[in-house]
Each structure stands twice: as structure tokens, then as C-alpha cells.
């Protein structure tokens, strides 16, 4: 058995993979593969409608918001958010907490002024800035809820006098969220919701159409809303697998239930790291991510032999990002606590052998 701690594409529930594999051969008894049916067919329209309905149910999406399944990854949303929300000659505010937040603010500069309200760049993004003021004259305030590379997470979302735009790519559906506190939420699917190839967008309708600029159809949220996420051929397979994953999550008790599991996994793993003399967590304790647990070996020479031991035990995807080094245990929704325990056992065994 493999224990997949990879940062993304991340682990998916086994039952979801099994259903998806069957659908590739014969989708719902149609005699056709999911990969070859028309996206305009009643069978696929039912899939898309169910996926949208599940997002609204699991996140308690209020009236006045639209749910979209788009292509291009969250990186495309770095540009589409300001394209659709930042008026010509306007300003946007950004919280810089890592590589992806930095890339997002760089894209926004194509459409207007950008104010970085706070940054933790000087510490290699090991913490989340706290003491800052959101400018009331900006069109929106952009945040990144979880930082996969550095293992930090916003455990409390900021109060803002302007609409909040949030990249939730790496912790979407991992914890309860009040959607009404946000003007726009976007997330690449490939951490907690499905495979790479589709991006979830939840946008407040009354924020749209106010930029004063013409937006090409494919990049226009309003056009995509009117087209029901099918202005062009959507990524059918990725949407189907996302729908199955959302059904799996609902059957487990929804977001509140998985949040309890995620908190338990994070606590037991951080406790093990803190009590092990050979390892050290990277992020500030109050900002530690419940999705991406980043840690290093106290002795850098222990890194390769520990990874070798992990490989022998079926633990994969543990090597840290090159900008941080060490190890990164991504403990997304579908990773069972049994896998976390296997990792902890490996850490303890390694410590015992290297006293």
C-alpha cells in the first residue's frame, strides 16, 4: 500500500478512482466512455448540475452567488479576478504570503495599481502577517488561504471593508467557510476536489460588469455564468471526478466532519514532529497549515536516509519544495489518518536508529 503525501495533484478517495475508471470504459450504462460523450448530452448535463448543487450545499452558498467550473487552473484566475473586478484606473490590495500570492499580484498589475498591504517575504514566508490595514479605496482585497510550499494557513479570515478575493486551491472543502464573507473564491481542483484540469469559481454576481472594460468571452465571468460553465466544451472528466469527490465528502458528513478529521491529523503529526529530536517544523506555530505540514531534519545529512526509509515503507511525495527543502506532508481530505500514523512510526524508527 502506498501512502500518498504528494502536494498535488493530491490523493483522491479510492472509491472515487474506481468509479471514475469504470466511467472511462462505460459511463452509467450508456455503452460510451465518459471521455467521448457529448457535453451537451442529458447525461453530462446531469453531472454538471449535480456538481454545482453539491458545491452550493457543502459550502452553504447563499443566493446572489454563481458557481462555475472553468479551465486554466488557479493561475488563470490570477488574471481573471482583476480582469473582471478591477476597474480601469483602479487599485487592488494583496496580502503576500508565498509564491502563489506573489504570482497573483504580478498578474493584477496588468490591470491596475496593486498595493501589497503586508508581506512575510523577509522570513521566507514562514508566517502569516497580522498587523495591517486593508485600504478602503481598493476594489478588492486578495488573499491566499493556504500556502502549500511554506506550510502556512490563514486560520482566521480578515475582516475587510472591501470585497475579499480568496485563492483556496489547497484547502478548499477542508474546513467550514462563510461564503458570504467573500466576493470571489477560486480553487484549482487538484488538492481536495478532483483531478487537475478544472477550477472552481464562486463569485458574487453584483460585483460583475463594473470594470468599464471589454472582456473577451472566455475570460468574462458573466459570459461563463450565462453559458452555465459550457460556453465552450468543459473538462468533462475532471468535472465528473470532482462531482464524485463532492458526493464522497457529503456521505462522510460534509465539510464539518472532514474538518474534524483534518484537525486531528494535523495535531497528531505536529505533536510527533515537535517531540522528535531529529525533526523541526518550519512554520510559525500559530500559522501552521492543516493541509501541508512542512518540516526539516535538524541534521541535513539525515534528509536522504530518512526519505529512503519512507520509500521502503510506501510513503511517497514527502520531499519538500526546493525553495524550502526538507519534507512536506500534504494531508489532504482523502488521506486517512492511518497513513499519518505510518509516517509517524517511520519518524520514530529513524530517531531510534540515529540517537
Catalytic residue numbers, as ranges: 100, 167, 191
C-alpha separations of 250 from 40, 160, 201, 254, 255 in Å: 26, 31, 19, 4, 8
Cell of 15: 472509491
CA atoms of 353 and 355, how far apart (whole Å): 6
Q: Residue 74 annotated as binding?
A: yes
Cell of 322: 526546493
Q: Residue 148 annotated as binding?
A: yes
Contact present, 97 and 237 (Cβ < 8 Å): no
What angle is formed at CA 275 by the lines to CA 144 and CA 308, rounded to 5 degrees? Answer: 80
If you ran DSSP here, which 8-state letter would residue 86 be given?
A: S
If you ran DSSP here, which 8-state letter would residue 159 be given?
A: P
DSSP bridge pairs for 330: 292
Read off φ and ψ for residue 347, nearest 5 degrees: -65, -45
Q: Residue 75 annotated as binding?
A: yes
Q: Residue 40 annotated as binding?
A: yes
Give the 3-state secondary structure of residue 116: strand
Q: Residue 266 annotated as binding?
A: no
Residues contacting residue 70 through CB under 8 Å, at least 6 positions apart: 76, 77, 198, 199, 201, 224, 229
Q: Residue 329 annotated as binding?
A: no
CA atoms of 127 and 285, how far apart (whole Å): 9
Spell out where 233-309 has E strands. 279-281, 292-297
Q: Residue 196 annotated as binding?
A: no
Cell of 289: 497549515
Cell of 214: 471589454
What is the number of H-type helices and E-type strands within the chain? 9, 14
Q: Binding site for pyridoxal 5'-phosphate: what residues are annotated?
A: 74-75, 100, 148, 167, 190, 232-233
Q: Binding site: what residues are annotated?
A: 40, 74-75, 100, 148, 167, 190, 232-233
Q: Binding site for L-glutamate: what residues are annotated?
A: 40
Amino acid at each position: 500500500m502506498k501512502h500518498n503525501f504528494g502536494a498535488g495533484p493530491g490523493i483522491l478517495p479510492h472509491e472515487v478512482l474506481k468509479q471514475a475508471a469504470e466511467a472511462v470504459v462505460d459511463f452509467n450504462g450508456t455503452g460510451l466512455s465518459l471521455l467521448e460523450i457529448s457535453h451537451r448530452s442529458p447525461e453530462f448535463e446531469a453531472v454538471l448540475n449535480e456538481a454545482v448543487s453539491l458545491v452550493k450545499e457543502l459550502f452553504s452558498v447563499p443566493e446572489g452567488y454563481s458557481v462555475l467550473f472553468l479551465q486554466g487552473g488557479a493561475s488563470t484566475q490570477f488574471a481573471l479576478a482583476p480582469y473582471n473586478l478591477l476597474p480601469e484606473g483602479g487599485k487592488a490590495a494583496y496580502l503576500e504570503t508565498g509564491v502563489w500570492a506573489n504570482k497573483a499580484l504580478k498578474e493584477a498589475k496588468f490591470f491596475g495599481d496593486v498595493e501589497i498591504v503586508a508581506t512575510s517575504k523577509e522570513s521566507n514566508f514562514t508566517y502569516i502577517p497580522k498587523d495591517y490595514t486593508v485600504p478602503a479605496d481598493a476594489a478588492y482585497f486578495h488573499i491566499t488561504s493556504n500556502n502549500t510550499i511554506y506550510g502556512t494557513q490563514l486560520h482566521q479570515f480578515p475582516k475587510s471593508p472591501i470585497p475579499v478575493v480568496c485563492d483556496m486551491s489547497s484547502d478548499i472543502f477542508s474546513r467550514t467557510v462563510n461564503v458570504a464573507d467573500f466576493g470571489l473564491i477560486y480553487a484549482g481542483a487538484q488538492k481536495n476536489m478532483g483531478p487537475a484540469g478544472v477550477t472552481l469559481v464562486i463569485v458574487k454576481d453584483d460585483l460583475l460588469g463594473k470594470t468599464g472594460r471589454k472582456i473577451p468571452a472566455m475570460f468574462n465571468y458573466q459570459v461563463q455564468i450565462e453559458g452555465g460553465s459550457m460556453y465552450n466544451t468543459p473538462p468533462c472528466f475532471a468535472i465528473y471526478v470532482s462531482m464524485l469527490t463532492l458526493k464522497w465528502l457529503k456521505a462522510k458528513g460534509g465539510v464539518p466532519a472532514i474538518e474534524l478529521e483534518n484537525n486531528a491529523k494535523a495535531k497528531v503529526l505536529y505533536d510527533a514532529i515537535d517531540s522528535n529530536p531529529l525533526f523541526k517544523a518550519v512554520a510559525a506555530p500559530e500559522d501552521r497549515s492543516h493541509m501541508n505540514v512542512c518540516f526539516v531534519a535538524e541534521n541535513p545529512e539525515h534528509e536522504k536516509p530518512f526519505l529512503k526509509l519512507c520509500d521502503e515503507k510506501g510513503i511517497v511525495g514527502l520531499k519538500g519544495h526546493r525553495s524550502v527543502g526538507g519534507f512536506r506532508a500534504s494531508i489532504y481530505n482523502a488521506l486517512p489518518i492511518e497513513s499519518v500514523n505510518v509516517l509517524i512510526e517511520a519518524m520514530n524508527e529513524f530517531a531510534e536508529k540515529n540517537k
